[in-house]
Amino acid sequence: MALKIESVETLRLGEHPNLLWVRVHTESGLTGLGETYFGAGPSEADIHDRIAPIILGQDARRIEFLNMKMQPYTGFTGSGAEVRALAAVDVALWDIAGKAANMPLCDLLGGRTRDKIQVYNTCAGPNYVSKTSAVRPDNFGAGDHERNETAYEDLEAFLNCPEDLAASLLEMGISSMKIWPLDLAAGAVDGVDISPADLKKGIDPFEKIRKAHGDKMRLKAELHGLWSLNAAKKIAAALEPLEMDWIEDPVWMDRTHEVAELAASTHAPLAGGETLASLGQFRSLIDEGNIATPIMDVTWAGGISAARKVAAIAEARSRPIAFHDCSGPVTLAVSTHLALSLRNVREQEITRGFYYAWYQDFVDRLPPIESGMISVPEGPGLGMELLVDMFKRPDAIHRTSSLN
């Protein structure tokens, strides 16, 4: 079967300005779906200006070769627009490979090590980081219920009634959750230091959950890389008695010497790395930073081709790897396929505020979640397609690059 790439198209929506979808079309009729998040406009431009001329006319089955050719000369070490664009196309190529083999991706990637995997909930609301790519309180979407009156507003919940939020998750069979109340501390503006009062206030939701539910709920703290090493040490010391599952991105993850110093100063496990995007960065984070759980975003950091290699680096060091999802439905699907096929994944991140609010508006099938466990959609490749009506929306921005 000829799998010559004949066109590449992109789609983004005014309502969700951070999301970009990619479809790679072959002359045989098989189409692959990819996605990335943040910097949608620049990633779209890079796909059509730089990547399309590289891959048009090529055999879609040569994934490793095409991934190598798509590597940018500038922007190759971080998860900037060039690498996000590459990642989206790489996922689409693997989707084509799965469809050509008539196999779900997780089966194509060596087979399933498990049929389903437990989830942890990142406690964002449906409108979290929805206006721009800025991860800051004025873009957290709290209080914006116009579009999603019945959806889970988990961010407001962890700030105001964290015990009830934990109870709601436990009722769904979800026994692990991640929250970030310390982002609202005054010191988070510059991250140099945190006051005793802000530290106490930021720790309070974790303490309330632990007091109400004991060890039934595993707690993860997200710090978004906002803090200096000195402030991060204070936060870790305050969180340590609560037996945290992990403390995520306490400092910028490219400062591996600081990560290592923080790891040596606390018994609380550290996790992070979703903003990194090269094998060298992840190797340094694991080997030099001594991170307990490296976290990778598949659609930010080079796609499936890169994710498998990073997972192998982690496995060689006896570390688990976690795949980030607080973005879109394709990212969740491809992450779950990887989670089922790899032996060193403990759980898969979800954002139920997204999953139950708007993920279903864009694709025909979602990875099924039941009793705190997630699996993959039925069907070859990713097992999902974009809904046709997406392209007819008045806020749709649709571009195509083709051989002719």
For residue 141, pLDDT beyond 70: yes
Type of residue at 266? T
Confidence of residue 130 (pLDDT cuts 50, 70, 90): confident
Domain residue ranges of the chain, discontinuous segments joined by +: 5-102+385-402, 107-374
pTM assigned to the model: 0.96
| Predicted local distance difference test score (pLDDT) of residue 146 | 55
Query: What average pLDDT does the segment 324-347 reach?
Result: 97
Q: Which residue has the higher pLDDT, 389 or 139?
A: 389
* Percentage of residues of the chain with pLDDT beyond 70: 98
What is 5-102+385-402's CATH topology? Enolase-like; domain 1 (3.30.390)
| Predicted local distance difference test score (pLDDT) of residue 202 | 98
Please determine, looking at this structure, whether the domain spanning 107-374 carries the CATH number 3.20.20.120. Answer: yes
Do 5-102+385-402 and 107-374 show the same overall fold? no
- Give the Å distances, CA to CA, from 15 to 131, 199, 312: 8, 36, 38
Q: Which two tokens stand for residue 268?
A: 């609380």
How many other CB atoms are found less than 10 A from the CB of residue 318? 7
What 3-state DSSP class applies to 2?
A: coil
The C-alpha torsion from 382 through 333 and 72 to 69, rounded to 10°, is -20
Buried b (16+ CB within 10 A) or exposed e, 193-222: ebeeebbeebbebbbbbbeebeeebbbbbb
| Predicted local distance difference test score (pLDDT) of residue 137 | 82
| Predicted local distance difference test score (pLDDT) of residue 145 | 54
| DSSP state letter for 63 | H
Question: Per DSSP, which regions of 176-228 are E strands?
Answer: 176-179, 218-222
| Predicted local distance difference test score (pLDDT) of residue 136 | 80
Q: Which two tokens stand for residue 312?
A: 């192998």
Pairing of strands 117-122, 218-222: unpaired
For residue 139, pLDDT beyond 90: no
Confidence of residue 1 (pLDDT cuts 50, 70, 90): low
- Of the given ranges (77-86, 94-103, 192-201, 226-235), which has the lowest mean pLDDT? 77-86
Q: What is the pLDDT of residues 61-96, one digit of tens each?
A: 999 999 999 999 887 778 899 999 999 999 999 999
Report how far residue 384's alpha carbon sits from residue 361's, in angstroms, rounded to the nearest whole number. 12
Query: What average pLDDT does the segment 337-346 reach?
Result: 98
| Residue 90 CB partners (closer than 8 Å, separation 6+) | 34, 63, 66, 67, 70, 302, 303, 304, 305, 306
| Predicted local distance difference test score (pLDDT) of residue 150 | 55
Query: What average pLDDT does the segment 153-179 reach?
Result: 97
Confidence of residue 306 (pLDDT cuts 50, 70, 90): very high
Residue 140's nearest CA partner among 152, 151, 156 is: 156
Report how far residue 400's alpha carbon sits from residue 280's, in angstroms, rounded to the nearest whole number. 34
Report how far residue 10's alpha carbon sits from residue 47's, in angstroms, rounded to the nearest whole number. 8
| Predicted local distance difference test score (pLDDT) of residue 404 | 79
Report how far residue 268's alpha carbon sits from residue 244's, in angstroms, rounded to the nearest whole number. 6
What 3-state DSSP class applies to 325?
A: coil
Residue 206's nearest CA partner among 249, 239, 167 is: 239
Q: What is the pLDDT of residues 263-273, one digit of tens each?
A: 999 999 999 99
Q: Half-sphere exposure of 108 toward its Cβ, with a 13 Å CA cutoff? A: 23
Q: What is the pLDDT of residues 243-292, one digit of tens each?
A: 999 999 999 999 999 999 999 999 999 999 999 999 999 999 999 999 99
| Predicted local distance difference test score (pLDDT) of residue 29 | 96
| Predicted local distance difference test score (pLDDT) of residue 149 | 57
Q: Which two tokens stand for residue 392?
A: 């007819």
| Predicted local distance difference test score (pLDDT) of residue 76 | 76
| Predicted local distance difference test score (pLDDT) of residue 113 | 98
| Predicted local distance difference test score (pLDDT) of residue 154 | 96
Q: Which two tokens stand for residue 100?
A: 């050509």
331 and 299 Cβ atoms separated by less than 8 Å:
yes
| Residue 404 CB partners (closer than 8 Å, separation 6+) | none
Average model confidence (pLDDT) across the chain: 95
Report how far residue 135's alpha carbon sits from residue 110's, in angstroms, rounded to the nearest whole number. 36
81 and 39 Cβ atoms separated by less than 8 Å:
yes
Angle at 133 between CA 127 and CA 138, to 5 degrees: 60
| Predicted local distance difference test score (pLDDT) of residue 144 | 61
Helix (H) or strand (E) holding 26: strand 19-26
Query: What average pLDDT does the segment 48-62 reach?
Result: 98
| Predicted local distance difference test score (pLDDT) of residue 133 | 79
Query: What average pLDDT does the segment 310-315 reach?
Result: 98
